[in-house]
Structure 1
Amino acid sequence: MHPQRLFILEKILTNALKHPNSEAVKDGNGTFTYSQLVEQAKRISTQIEEQHLCGSVINVDVGRCKERVVVLLGILMSGSFYLPLEEEWPGKRKQVVCNQAHISASAKLTENSTLRIVPQLNDGNRPKKDPVPSGGGYLIFTSGSTGTPKGVVIAASSLDYVLKNSIERFNVSNSTKLLAVASPAFDFSIFELLLPLVAGGTVCIADKSIPKNPDYFEQISKNWQINCFTGTPTMFTMMTMGGWIPQTNATLILGGENVSNLLLKNLSTANQIWNIYGPTETTIYCLSKKLKLGEEITLGKPLPGTKVWVQTKKKNERTGELYVVGPSVGFGYINNIKLTKSNFFFTDSSTGFQGYRTGDLVSLTSAGEMSFIGRADNQIKIHGYRIETEEVENHINAFLGGHESCVSAIKSESETRLVAFLPKNALQSPIDSIDALRNRLKLVLPNYAIPSNILLLDELPINSNGKINRILLKNNYLEKVNISNRNNKLAQFRELKKPTMTQFLSSLLDEEIGDDDNLLPME
């Protein structure tokens, strides 16, 4: 039924033949056996074929439910492209994403839980499509520095490669029960939904509130007998702070953020703990390391067949920007040829694989592994989500009528928060204007990209190059002010009658601040 013989589809179809009544996918409303899952996925694929939509982009906005797995498999079977949307995204952002992707159809879930593929445009009116790889795959939209999200195109063959190399690596089997917690619009969700199925295991889809609810996390883990967990270090930190202790048979796969030694210690009761790394452009992950107490926490080594290297500024240096070449590197950005040529910088003539410039700064260890250092730009990560600060700033600046703002991240022991610094004179009525700004941002940005705190300054500090001094704001405010007292501190700073922020920052300075405001650590 599908145009190419994908390993992942062949394995899932085989599992359905061998173990038709085994649990494949479950959520709070019920379960699909393997036979039920494959039968419904074939129906979706048939709908796509009958409507002559094979190879097109199909958006999926059905929420966190077992039916999402049906649609994902059906789209892959038809050789089309799966575009997941987050149900909590503002409508305007969804529209922007769908317009950029030139979608041809949407997957709809009717009131009686019936899945349908609904064409969006007549054949004669469809916009011209950008080139995409044959055989289908998926699109994931991430934050864009221009203020518009960018869509990463991943070929099904790249997804096939990553999952095929993950089964043995993470000891996934037919006894695996994985708790899926990632947002549907996060590429890690595709990994969660498919990896257990390829091995004959079970995907258990958690309620969207689970990343912030340790009690529910522990309860559902026991009730469903979960033995494989995935998530960001922030999520696992919140769970352990809530009292959760991993079982001795558990496999933990952490990604999207740095792993601390304290977190590793708190998770050490698990059977195995993995740290994985990879931008969306490299199909979920391209480096991995099995972590052990007492050993250095690194990004590890690449998947078989993938090459990585560090581009240094000087000969014999071991620190620089990470480059990746291999079968997991994506096709490029849809409808953005210029950015594609900039980041997907060349094609390996011997293999045909593309190379990707990650923008991440790493250091090569003596063991030949990569250790993460930071970013070469202003991109940050919160709960695993990539956020281009320029995108948030562009929307804020538009609201301010041209005044400049600065967006950065505050990191505490348990969480990372996004903070916006605004010049006080840009607002007519600060309290009302801040509320209006928040409402404006909710119309165009996902919740994770909306600043938790908006702080007013008499003026934003400027460095010698005439740029906003992000280093001063970050190092001398965010680091020296104790984040554990933020409720008192931030409330004080937001009161306009108190001493100005600039005066306060000046009183904190006890060391020289450099002019390089581009090198910021990824949180």
Structure 2
Amino acid sequence: GDDVAPAGTTLVDMFEARVAERGDAVAVRFGDEQLSYRDLGARVHRLARHLIDVGAGPEDLVAVAMPRSLDLIVALLAVLEAGAGYLPIDPNSPSDRIEFLVSDATPVAVVTTSDVEVAFPGSVPVVEIDRLDLSEVDDAPILDAERRAPLTSTNLAYVIYTSGSTGRPKGVLIPHRNVVRLMVNTESVYGFDSSDVWTMFHSYAFDFSVWELWGPLLYGGTLVVVDYFTSRSPEAFRELLIRERVTVLNQTPSAFYQLVEADRVAVDEAQLSLRYVIFGGEALEPRRLAGWFERHGDTSPRLVNMYGITETTVHVSYREIGADLAQGASASVVGVPIAGLRVYVLDRRLKPVPVGVAGEMYVGGGQLARGYLRRPELSAARFVADPFSSDGALLYRTGDVARWVVSGDLEYLGRADDQVKIRGFRIELGEVEAAVLAQDEVAHAAVIVREDTPGAARIVAYVVAHEGMSIDTEALRSGVAVVLPEYMVPSAFVVIDAIPLTVNGKLDRRALPEPVFETRGFRAPSTPIEEIVAGVFADVLGVDRIGADDDFFALGGNSLIATQVVSRLGAALDAQVPVRALFEASTVA
């Protein structure tokens, strides 16, 4: 589609227009504090003048390291008003990551609060916002003449670091006009306005927060900043949605599934005021929304899945998710590109693949980042010449696999480098997860592949029980084995209290415990044949001792090793042992 955003507009221009016309309206709320547009503007202008004095201007970066609060919003806007771009630093990050960000991005200053215990490299001026007395500073809007250079829509608005596949994070350079385009290009889909109330649920170091910040502030709506504790407690967050009459909610699917559960068990009759729930950040499984649709229907609120990437300014495509999709869809349908963006699904030679065939996604259009901060070789590898354009346009190579389906929608199939293959089988973990979730006792589940011993990749399911229920992992395994082929049945089921999330609200794989392949109460093999069988199990599985009641599959066995077991048994017992015998009677006895 075509861009509809006015060419030279900056985020600052748009925000100032709201301050001028919506002065008395509530701009930001946090807990029981709030600021009107007029008061927010005044605070922002004062801090921006101070930052200009400290040395900030267009194309500079100013780091912001603060907990979520009203002051955080003031700080982010003030950096932009000064003309600079903000570099978000989560104050809870490990200190070596903070050191890396500051040394890599070389900000001209750091805005923080006195209670943030972060040691910044000595040379960077630190501005503690709560210790500044700016009462004597002019609070009128800032004129270009006061800035170190005029601010234009091509100047940097922020640099957000994304994890590098090589392990070294890389800073993505996003100018003002990209964010303006994002908001203007989605207007026709959503019709956001000044009556909307949005939450800032995500960490401001995650680009989903860019959408949450400007969605309300560019339209004269209200932004409700969610404190960290509430963002991690689905019950408390649901209460906030009701109390604040939130109309636009943005969630990673992992976080929303937990909210759905809190909503299911809630006893109050209070109504949500939501108009939209917008998903992003990770693949959505529409089947997991069935319970929500049963209670709320699919029109109020409307649920929309958006696929996006930091490098293309938050969102690329959208697809409204109706109750019908929750019945059948297994893959993540991410819909059609938003206005102003083009999406291609290409093969290795950069030729479009036919409908229904998987290929790599490339994105073109006006929301592409400028590239990576001081990483020209990486920028050149990921931002490539657009073979379908004659005017020197670029495409961003996403590393994501997708296909077009007959309906005209894009279906997201996962990472190009992360397609799970176990023992030669291509496995969609979403399918395994859906089978686990279909079991009655299971409220939440996460299914991942672990390789705790090199070369032995195993599927592990982490499960959280419904309130008041307990999970028998053996029964769970049998239930899942009824619907999935053997090679897709998890090697281990681990019961945990809650699914761990990262600061960005995505599944925190590293926090999932290593499964213990447990042996049952030990009963020694009692016959010569049991001893031979136990010996073969122990050998093939690499387990020290095996009892007569131990189960081959519960110990991490799988169909591939099963063939080794029966051939060794056949040799040891001088008999033909069919593989089926092991599947039907999987203990030593």
Task: Compute the TM-score of the two structures, normalised by the length of structure 1.
Answer: 0.72
Provide the residue aligned with 2:490 in structure 1. 481
CA distance in 1, matches of 2:486, 2:165: 24
CA distance in 1, matches of 2:413, 2:385: 25
Deviation at 1:377, TM superposition (A): 1.0
Provide the residue aligned with 2:286 in structure 1. 261
CA distance in 2, matches of 1:219, 1:417: 29
Whether the 8 Å CA contact 2:448–2:459 is kept in 1: the answer is no
Provide the residue aligned with 2:184 in structure 1. 164
CA distance in 2, matches of 1:93, 1:252: 32
From the superposition, tell whether residues 477 and 327 of structure 1 become closer, same or farther in structure 2 (CA, over 3 Å): farther
Q: Rg bigger for which structure?
A: 2
Whether the 8 Å CA contact 2:460–2:490 is kept in 1: the answer is no
Whether the 8 Å CA contact 1:178–1:196 is kept in 2: the answer is yes
Structure 1 segments unaligned to the other structure (5+ residues): 113-117, 123-131, 381-407, 423-456, 462-469, 513-523
1:186-197 equivalent positions in 2, closer than 5 A: 186-197=206-217
Deviations 1:108-148 (A, max 9, x none): 23479xxxxx98169xxxxxxxxx99512111111112222
CA distance in 1, matches of 2:190, 2:14: 17
Alignment partner of 1:138 is 2:138: no
Alignment partner of 1:367 is 2:437: no
1:62-101 equivalent positions in 2, closer than 5 A: 62-101=66-105
CA distance in 1, matches of 2:304, 2:222: 20
Structure 2 segments unaligned to the other structure (5+ residues): 1-6, 117-121, 127-151, 421-428, 438-443, 462-483, 498-512, 523-536, 544-554, 564-589
Alignment partner of 1:336 is 2:375: yes
Match of residue 109, structure 1, among 109, 113, 126: 113
Of structures 1 and 2, the one with the larger relative CO (CA 8 A, separation 6+) is 1
Provide the residue aligned with 2:148 in structure 1. none
1:430-445 equivalent positions in 2, closer than 5 A: none
Deviation at 1:321, TM superposition (A): 0.5
Match of residue 343, structure 2, among 303, 308, 313: 308
Alignment partner of 1:19 is 2:26: no
Deviations 1:487-521 (A, max 9, x none): 699653289x9968667444443899xxxxxxxxx
Alignment partner of 1:279 is 2:309: yes
Whether the 8 Å CA contact 1:105–1:119 is kept in 2: the answer is no
CA distance in 1, matches of 2:275, 2:258: 18
From the superposition, tell whether residues 417 and 25 of structure 1 become closer, same or farther in structure 2 (CA, over 3 Å): farther
Deviation at 1:225, TM superposition (A): 1.4
Deviation at 1:473, TM superposition (A): 8.8
Alignment partner of 1:460 is 2:442: no
Provide the residue aligned with 2:220 in structure 1. 200
CA distance in 1, matches of 2:445, 2:203: 18
CA distance in 1, matches of 2:189, 2:105: 33
CA distance in 2, matches of 1:203, 1:482: 45
Deviations 1:20-47 (A, max 9, x none): 1211011125111101111222223222
Whether the 8 Å CA contact 2:27–2:36 is kept in 1: the answer is yes
CA distance in 1, matches of 2:103, 2:92: 18
Whether the 8 Å CA contact 1:133–1:331 is kept in 2: the answer is no
Match of residue 239, structure 1, among 255, 259, 276: 259
CA distance in 2, matches of 1:119, 1:21: 41
Q: Aligned-pair RMSD on alpha carbons?
A: 3.7
CA distance in 2, matches of 1:181, 1:156: 22
Match of residue 35, structure 1, among 35, 38, 43: 38
Identity %: 23
> Aligned letter for 1:286?
V
Other structure's SS at 1:46 match: helix
CA distance in 2, matches of 1:119, 1:35: 35
> Aligned letter for 1:62?
M
CA distance in 1, matches of 2:455, 2:73: 47
CA distance in 2, matches of 1:19, 1:311: 46
Alignment partner of 1:223 is 2:248: no
> Aligned letter for 2:218?
V
Other structure's SS at 2:287 match: helix
Alignment partner of 1:346 is 2:370: no
Q: After superposing the two structures, state which structure 1 stretch, 408-417 or 59-68, moved more.
A: 408-417
